[in-house]
Copies of this chain bind each other. A is one copy, B any other.
């Protein structure tokens, strides 16, 4: 299909981050169903699986001991401690990128490190309509204690400070609309001229 392309296909690295309670999991599930050619990077974590989560699909669940062993072996492109649990993105997920694009579901700390290493990475932040609405959603799902809710809200505000890193913001007010927007970002990035064809820019500027 990319018959105008000069070079071979290059995979795009997408990073999606969102404060908890924003609906990211549902959005990514819908994205997976609707947009092809997207490989979902599975991270390693030391936190226990939540109900419905599957080993190898949602995360690779490992002990802290095993995790630190992997750190020492240099197996992660980035790793971090979030809410007391360890999360790491294995380097091997970037192998063989080409025909497929890669999607990483990680927090702003990790996103920042990926951006430093993969300059062309596209960063997408999913936002709730407002902080008040986020609080309402966290309370409504009723699975967190008051303390955890306060903690999550504090974290959400801290994550928002990192928003300048991101290229796109998808506000999840209406789920169907947000799905459409997220899919659109993936499709549009695949159409960027600099990705479709490498052309000499005559005036020496290429800052978009």
- Which residues from 74 to 118 on chain A have a C-beta closer than 8 Å to any C-beta of chain B? none
Contact of B201 with A164 in the complex, beta carbons under 8 Å: yes
Does A71 sit at the interface, judged by CB under 8 A?
Answer: no
Determine if A16 is an interface residue (Cβ-Cβ < 8 Å): no
Complex CA–CA separation, A4 to B201 (angstroms): 35
Q: Which residue of chain B has the shortest Cβ distance to A125 in the bound complex?
A: B193
A163 contacts partner chain B, Cβ-Cβ < 8 Å: yes
B191 engages A169 (CB within 8 Å): yes
Are B1 and A173 within 8 A (Cβ)?
yes
Chain B residue, CB-CB nearest to A191: B168
- Is A166's CB within 8 Å of the partner chain B? yes
Let me know if B181 and A191 touch, CB within 8 A.
yes
Give which listed residue, B167, B180, B192, B193, contacts A193 with CB less than 8 A: B167
Residue A38 interfacial (CB < 8 Å): no
Q: What does the 1/0 interface line of A129-143 toward B look like (CB < 8 Å)?
A: 110000000000000
Contact A3 B183 (CB under 8 A): no
Task: Determine the chain B residues whose CB is within 8 A of the CB of A164 once the complex forms.
Answer: 193, 199-202, 206
A26 at the interface (CB under 8 A from B): no
What is the CB-to-nearest-CB distance from A5 to chain B, in angstroms, rounded to a whole number? Answer: 10
* Smallest beta-carbon distance A77→chain B, Å: 21
Whether a CB of chain B sits under 8 angstroms from the CB of A197 is yes
Q: Within 8 Å of chain B (Cβ to Cβ): is A189? A: yes
CB pairs A–B below 8 angstroms (13 shown): A1-B171, A1-B173, A163-B193, A164-B199, A164-B206, A168-B191, A169-B192, A169-B193, A181-B188, A181-B191, A184-B191, A185-B187, A187-B188
Given contacts A164-B200, A183-B184, 16 further A-B contacts (CB under 8 A): A2-B171, A3-B171, A4-B127, A4-B169, A163-B197, A164-B201, A164-B202, A166-B193, A168-B188, A169-B191, A169-B192, A169-B193, A170-B191, A181-B187, A181-B188, A184-B191
